[in-house]
Structure 1
Amino acid sequence: MTVVLPRPGGPAAPWCQARRWYERELGWPTSGEAPLELLTGLRFDALGLPLDAGVALLGRAVRTGPVALDAGARRLWFLVAAGSADELPELLDWLEWGAVALDLAVRGPGGRIAAPVPAGAGHCRPGALGPGEPGGPVAPARAVWVRPPRAGDRGGEAEPSLPVTGLGGEGAAPDLARLVGAAATEVHRARLLRARGARRGLPGERQPLAFSYASRMSAGTRPRSFTL
């Protein structure tokens, strides 16, 4: 899957109706000032992966909720159910990833992520996004939706799509354990591949791609007879 990054010299981002759309259509609180950000830990938490690992995860047969690309940080943010940030350390231990250094970022209570511009946002008016935001479009989009949330009545159609704890999730919600297991696998794989590329041409043994058995099982990459 190819993710196209916004070009620095591209068209300016339309921010005018962004805050209204998030707060009125989804019921998601924002920072209320420019640059606009979504507050985590209230309606959702966010799991962040490096761009290469995140793109690889999108290509796997793992269900996710909304996914945002932060072009500046070159990181994909996978939205998960509120409270997931607190459960992540124990979940990684259960998946046998606790002893492995992983470039997994997580945003929970008190955190924030860049707010992607929603489709159909209009042009800004003076003061529309806060005291620091001049009128009119001013800068390229820092973040875009790769898999956008669905607008509903105060988030009525958004939160049920967020991964939650429990095998199989609750109702139609994706399962958090499977997502985290697959995310850990791809982050670890991407780190090893980057290290292998940096060592290319140098003497030494190649490091094998070794992964947690529990994570491979939850991600669906073990033999079919052992897959949950």
Structure 2
Amino acid sequence: MVALKPVDVAQRDTIRLITTGRLKEPVLLPLSANHGALEDLASLESATNGRLQAQDTGLPELDPRELVFGRPGHSFINAAFTHCRPGGNRFNDERRGAWYSAFEVKTAIAEVSFHLTRELDAIGRFETSVDYAELFADFLGSFHDLRGLAANDEPALHHNPDIGYPAGQALARAIRVNAKLDGILYTSTRRDGGTCLVAFRPDLVQSLRQGSIWRLEWQGQPQPIVSRMGR
């Protein structure tokens, strides 16, 4: 069992960035001429929507009863736990998602730009523009504290995902399943001095609200131009 360093967390205004395309109405909505047609389209859309499928059947390690409903932004919260990147992320695998956020907007920007830059590098073309919306959330719970540690101290914090992610996923599983803690606080590997938080359960994400819009634009270079577009 991992040596735990639990801390009580009461953190307001953590920041998660999502693409503004996810703020728009469902793409099928304009196609529905009446209420009955809308229900039919909703059924069709759910056939390929991982979040809706997980609401009914869950994921291998996510019980649908854990998802939240009836609160502002519940679909965004549930999506974080039901839409899993192939191979997972630093502290979750494909069997269960997690909610990642940062204490500072610059840290959130550094985290998302790292991943998109990797994708652009894979195709050899640093030419794109993406708008991201801030989602603020508050947290209250008991978290394992990795702040102040480096990759030499904790392999889960290694900057290389091929090393850091397998170690982090194993660590997170031990903390979530065995220790029953709510998540992890950790030093950002993408921005010096940044702090990140990962929450293991949907109900931990409280008071979700939208903030500003940020544009990340790649103009032939790996480093994006970042600009604030307003609310």
TM-score scaled by length of structure 2: 0.27
The structure with the largest strand share of the pair is 2
TM-score scaled by length of structure 1: 0.27
The structure with the largest helix share of the pair is 2
